[in-house]
Amino acid sequence: MPNRFSRREFAKLAGSAALVPAIVPALVSAETSPNLHPNAPAPRHFPTGFLWGSATASYQVEGAVKEDGRGPSIWDTFSHTPGKTNNGDTGDVADDHYHRYKEDVQIMKALGLKTYRFSIAWPRIFPQGTGTPNPKGLDFYSRLVDELLANGIQPYCTLFHWDLPQALEDKGGWQSRDTSEAFANYAGYVAQHLSDRVKHFMTLNEMRSFVDIGYRDGRHAPGLTLSPAKVNQVRHHAVLAHGLGVQAIRAHAKAGTKVGLAENAETCVPVIETPEHIAAAAKAYRETNAGYLTAIMEGRYTDAYLAHAGADAPKFTPEEMTAIGSPIDFVGLNIYAPHYVRADDSAAGFASVPMPSSFPHMMSSWLNTGPEALYWGPKLASQLWGIGELYITENGASAADTLTPDGQIYDIDRVMYLRNYLTQLHRAVSEGVPVRGYFCWSLMDNYEWADGYSYRFGIHYVDFKTQKRTPKLSAHFYREVISRNGLA
């Protein structure tokens, strides 16, 4: 069907294009205004104190890669290697957040954020990965934390979001057990110095991504395509780093500090919500995450994981498995796309459902939109392991954002994505799944790894030439969600 009005005609009808920004808040309010019908369902509010947040990561936003004694990371090396990233984009400048963090905290404040998740660049703290710490590196994060607290925003700190010091990679990187030890040393040092003000630390971000994409597929730093046996050993060193990191943080942090992680566990979703498919999804959740989250929650590799790996299984000791299973205070889940699963007669009891090519997705081709992932992810994890405190440490969407002549970004696709996912999160929370907070990825457009700057995930648009930040429609939407503590 043809459009009834051309854009120009519509603008004329609405008064003038210049009026459009003024109607944005009104549109958002109308959409979320209470339904007045007497039989209307209860408003979709979240529990009092629910922590609404947003997230970024050091290499994706900071820039200033050579300042104040920062050492090179594997992402500096990788992004400067011709052909490795879209357009040859690097994180050299990124969002220049290193210099603009005060302005960025004001953006957070304007949104009404209760919390902000950021990561620390390991090579700013230990430029060589180990050895003598660099006080100027820590000082940046100390100032950032002070700025957040002064504006009423709780800092949630990730210790490793993929920017491994190059000096460690030169000695084997995550293929070497020494890197797990070095991580623990670094984590303990940071916790010792920041835990007077930071109460929540996450060890590693998305082990499944940085290991599988970086060491198996070669599409992320350090760009290796290792054999299955070596990849399994890298996985083991990642979960071991987490476990040793938990122990080091407990040993060095102030009493009351909470420790967790932010993992993108494969989010298995029952293809139809019947008991048999739900049971299959629970089994699938445990087994597809056996090398990562399951190992951490259970302190062991599942029998099926070891049997499947056979001769390629990782080498490990009982002491290491105990460290890996160190009790944690909370689990953070990064949830974007669903993995649909069905019941199956095989020994495993489940099978993956292939994605039809027509399945809707956001700009990143991997980002299939299945909002119920935000229901089943936390629900299955909490049921499987009796987790008492969960966070959605990332959720968000890439979109082909364009600035319209009125200077706005009407990212209605991202708004649709967020609204639908948050509706499913509300469903989980209403059933008592203990999700305490949600971090929208991302506060602003940033360096999307090998995809460079063309894939925008922010709710603030960043003009990378001028560094100007502009709230998109999704930022207005999210601000309304936060101020109402819910979707209605």
The reply on whether position 301 binds ligand NOJ by CB under 6 A is: no
How far apart are CB 466 and ligand NOJ at their closest, in Å?
Answer: 22
Number of residues that bind ligand NOJ (CB under 6 A): 9
Question: Cis peptide before 176, with omega less than 30 degrees from 0?
Answer: no
CB-side neighbour CA atoms (13 Å) of 27:
13
Q: By the 8 A CB rule, do 65 and 76 touch?
A: yes
Shortest distance, position 225 Cβ to ligand NOJ, whole Å: 21
In the complex, the smallest distance separating the C-beta of residue 441 from ligand NOJ, rounded to whole angstroms, is: 5
- x/- contact string, 306-345, with ligand NOJ (CB under 6 A)? ----------------------------x-----------
Quick note: the x/- pattern for ligand NOJ over 372-411, rule CB under 6 A, is ----------------------x-----------------
HEC string for the chain: CCCCCCHHHHHHHCCCHHHHHHHHHHHHHHHHCCCCCCCCCCCCECCCCCEEEEECCHHHHCCCCCCCCCCCEHHHHHHCCCCCCHHHCCCCCCCCHHHHHHHHHHHHHHHCCCEEEEECCHHHHCCCCCCCCCHHHHHHHHHHHHHHHHCCCEEEEEEECCCCEHHHHCCCHHHCHHHHHHHHHHHHHHHHHHCCCCCEEEEEECHHHHHHHHHHHCCCCCCCCCCHHHHHHHHHHHHHHHHHHHHHHHHHCCCCCEEEEEECCCCEEECCCCHHHHHHHHHHHHHHCCCCHHHHHHCCCCHHHHHHHHHHCCCCCHHHHHHHCCCCCCEEEECCCCEEEEECCCCCCEEECCCCCCCCECCCCCCECCCCHHHHHHHHHHHHHCCCCEEEEEECCCECCCCCCCCCCCCHHHHHHHHHHHHHHHHHHHCCCCEEEEEEECCCCCCCHHHCCCCECCCEEEECCCCEEEECHHHHHHHHHHHHCECC
Output 60 or 203, the one with its CB closest to ligand NOJ: 60
> Considering beta carbons, is residue 278 or 416 the nearer one to ligand NOJ?
416
Nearer to ligand NOJ, 46 or 391 (CB): 391
Residue with tokens 């209307």: 40
Residues in 68-87 at the binding interface with ligand NOJ, rule: CB under 6 A: none
**With binding defined as CB under 6 A, does residue 154 bind ligand NOJ?**
no
* Residue 205 interacts with ligand NOJ (CB under 6 A): yes or no: yes
Q: Closer to ligand NOJ by CB, 456 or 479: give it.
A: 456
Partnered with residue 437 across adjacent β-strands are 51, 391
The residues annotated as belonging to the active site are 206, 394
Least distance CB 334 / ligand NOJ (angstroms): 5
Q: Between residues 96 and 394, which has the closer beta carbon with respect to ligand NOJ?
A: 394
Rule CB under 6 A: say whether 266 interacts with ligand NOJ: no
Q: Exactly one of 89, 263, 445, 448 binds ligand NOJ (CB under 6 A); which one? A: 448
Residue 336 beta carbon to ligand NOJ: minimum distance, rounded to whole angstroms: 6
Residue 18 token pair: 């210049």
Q: Which is nearer to ligand NOJ, 350 or 441 (CB)?
A: 441
CB atoms within 10 A of CB 161: 24
CB nearer ligand NOJ, residue 169 or residue 206? 206
| Among positions 62, 76, 163, 206, the unique one binding ligand NOJ when judged by CB under 6 A | 206
Residue 141 near ligand NOJ by CB under 6 A: no
Beta carbon of residue 209, minimum distance to ligand NOJ (angstroms, whole number): 6
User: Whole-number minimum distance, CB 394 to ligand NOJ, in Å?
Assistant: 5
Q: Which is nearer to ligand NOJ, 203 or 334 (CB)?
A: 334
Using rule CB under 6 A, residue 65 touches ligand NOJ: no
Judged by CB under 6 A, the residue of 28, 46, 54, 57 near ligand NOJ is 57
Shortest spacing between CB 12 and ligand NOJ, in angstroms: 39
457 binds ligand NOJ (CB under 6 A): yes
Q: Indicate which single residue of 46, 292, 441, 453 sits in contact with ligand NOJ (rule: CB under 6 A).
A: 441
Binding site for ligand NOJ (CB under 6 A): 57, 60, 205-206, 334, 394, 441, 448, 457
